[in-house]
A and B are shown apart, each in its own frame.
Chain A
């Protein structure tokens, strides 16, 4: 018989900043968030799949997305939009769980600005990683792959 060790609660805070230049106007890059069909094409890391996704892109809007590897879409992200300035800025908070256990809470700022005929995008994610269940290296890899997919879609 084994006894589970009591869970030690920990928090690791981190900030990730990613930048991309896209060869498309800010309105088209902004649409990658604002339009459901465009978002569904990139809003999951790497080769993972989106199993379910609701869409409510407005200040105060609440979205739920279940995703993960095809045979085990165990992650659920709950997003709440706080600040939306069309074609310029989106600020949202989201919590993520894996099989019902919360692994992180994030505050994400996405900024769009014109750059030599295209768009410069800066994504800043301020994160609290909970109980050692996720980390900045994996999160950065996931976010980076998503921003690359936006570029391919454009």
Chain B
């Protein structure tokens, strides 16, 4: 019998974006917009990003460094309040192994002319695949991608 274990954790990231929250929310709700920033580093091989943005809808994407294990993200939208809140559950796999299950809450608040985004992730890491620091770092990198995508959009307007 394989020895099973779990490790529970929570982290919160706050970011300010100069764009109004309708624009920031749209970067989550619109499949084309989300595919621009919800991706791993440049050199990663990646699959098609699939997004069905509605309560009960799913999102999935996979990718990874060439020749390395594939990271697979499989999420489910639990609660959506337009321009205000998104709650989703998701699981992460490394190749065939499920390494974690998370509940992610994203809150969008007006902050001057821009938006304050508060992201809280509650996680259970499975069977010793405890990568809290890496998960938090990876999530911060996604918000850097989002900031760059919003800036490109503002400049194009």
Q: Which residues of A contact B (CB under 8 A)?
A: 9, 11, 13, 15, 80, 82-83, 85, 88-89, 91, 93, 95, 102, 105-107, 109, 111, 124, 126-128, 130
Contacts and interface: CB of A to CB of B under 8 A. Distances in A.
A11 B85 contact: yes
A3 B4 CA distance: 54
B120 interface: yes
Contacts of B102: 107
Nearest to A126: B122
B89 interface: yes
Interface residues of B, number: 25
A124 B10 contact: no
* Interface of A, helix, strand, loop or mixed by DSSP: strand
30 contacts: A9-B85, A9-B107, A11-B87, A11-B107, A11-B120, A13-B10, A13-B105, A13-B122, A15-B10, A82-B101, A83-B126, A88-B1, A89-B4, A93-B76, A93-B103, A95-B79, A105-B103, A105-B105, A107-B101, A107-B103, A109-B6, A111-B4, A126-B10, A126-B103, A126-B122, A128-B103, A128-B105, A128-B120, A130-B85, A130-B87
Nearest to A87: B1
B124 interface: yes
B16 interface: no
Contacts of B89: 80, 82, 93, 105, 107
A17 B6 CA distance: 13
B78 interface: yes
Question: Closest 9 A-B residue pairs measured CB to CB?
Answer: A126-B122, A93-B89, A107-B103, A105-B78, A9-B84, A105-B87, A95-B78, A88-B4, A128-B105
Contacts of B23: none
A109 B120 contact: no
A85 B126 CA distance: 11
